[in-house]
A and B are shown apart, each in its own frame.
Chain A
């Protein structure tokens, strides 16, 4: 029995992006990897990345030329840990976030 997922909430999109970054570990993730992993348009990706940087959850590192990679900050890692707990708790009651 599979549950039909409707649209993603904003916090879910941000978490999907952060998880994509986390998967790349210490090397950081480039914009294209995040874009594909979080299934976003380029405009949305830019907008949400700015938001994550502004909130101090992600930081950008210049990697030669004009390319940038993104890394999780300590605050970002802590946020993801808290979100996973909240996700499990909500799921236990059948609440999708």
Chain B
């Protein structure tokens, strides 16, 4: 019963988080249309992929429970489906983080790696998805720190807090002794991170 309510909460946080990611993607796309700045395209795609990953996981999990209700045969299919959903979720999140790393990189950077190589990274290392996610998010957070130090605006601070909470979420998942508790903490941190980005978006919308 406790597990079921934990899953319900997890799916709720994931749904709200996916909606926030979709909103940010939409705003970034509007900004891209206005300015033509290609890095906004990376940012918009990154949040779109993150949103798709989160919604995909919600739908996959619900379908898992539907299949499990269909007897032993359905239960086996459900296990396979859940395994696929879990890997796809991890891979898509890493792709989103890679796009965040590209879009937030310092403007003068001349050592840009080939996107295709980095996007293939999660597929090559699927057994260590969380570690890959942490490494990429460390890069994103470091770039956000540099950006905050350069511009020192509250908006840049919200972004820094947002990405830091996403990183903290992945770290809790890896370091926690209790997997269930670690997973819930991961969800809460991830939700907090996206909430911080939502606050930034709302504040930007109030600028006159």
A-side interface residues toward B, CB under 8 Å? Answer: 1-4, 6, 9, 11, 81-86, 88-97
B104 and A94 form a contact (CB under 8 A): yes
B36 touches A89 (CB 8 A): no
B34 within 8 A of A: yes
The answer to whether B40 has its CB under 8 Å from any CB of chain A is: yes
Beyond A1-B150, A85-B207, is A94–B106 a contact (Cβ under 8 Å)? Answer: yes
Q: In the complex, what's the smallest C-beta–C-beta distance from A45 to chain B, in angstroms?
A: 21
Decide if B204 touches A92 in the complex (CB within 8 Å): yes
- Which residues 99-138 of B sit at the A interface, judged by CB distance below 8 A? 103-108
Q: Which residues on the A side are within 8 Å of B151 (C-beta)?
A: 3, 91-92, 94
Q: Shortest CB–CB separation between residue A81 and chain B, in angstroms?
A: 7
User: What residues of chain B lie closer than 8 Å to A11, measured between beta carbons?
Assistant: 34-36
Please report the total number of B residues contacting A with Cβ < 8 Å: 35
B153 in contact with A97 (CB, 8 Å): no
Give the residue of A2, A9, A89 whose beta carbon is less than 8 angstroms from that of B31: A89
Task: Establish whether residues B153 and A92, one from each chain, have CB atoms under 8 Å apart when the complex forms.
Answer: yes
- Counting residue pairs across A and B whose Cβ atoms lie within 8 Å, the total is 88
Q: Is B208 an interface position by the 8 A CB rule? A: yes
Given contacts A9-B36, A97-B35, contact A91 B103 (CB under 8 A): no
Is B146 an interface residue, CB under 8 A from the partner? yes
Which chain A residue shows the least CB distance to B156? A92
**Nearest Cβ on chain A to B32's Cβ, whole angstroms:** 9
The reply to whether B108 and A88 form a contact with Cβ atoms under 8 Å apart is: no
Among all A-B residue pairs, the 3 with the closest Cβ atoms: A94-B147, A92-B155, A86-B31
Q: Are B149 and A90 interface neighbours, CB within 8 A?
A: no
CA distance A60 to B28 in the complex (A): 33
Q: Is the CB of A94 within 8 A of B43?
A: no
Q: What are the residues of chain B within 8 A of A91 when measuring CB–CB? A: 151, 153, 155-156
Question: Which residues B182-208 have CB closer than 8 A to chain A?
Answer: 200-201, 204-205, 207-208
CB distance from B60 to the nearest CB of A (A): 30
Chain A residue at smallest Cβ distance from B27 = A89
Interchain CB contact under 8 A, B146 and A94: yes
A95 lies within 8 A of B39 (CB): yes
Closest to B37 in A: A97
Query: Cβ of A1: which chain B residues have Cβ within 8 Å of it?
Result: 146, 149-150
Q: Is the CB of B150 within 8 A of A90?
A: no
Contacts of B51 in A (CB 8 A): none
User: For A92, what are the chain B residues with a Cβ–Cβ distance below 8 Å?
Assistant: 147, 151, 153, 155-156, 158-159, 200, 204
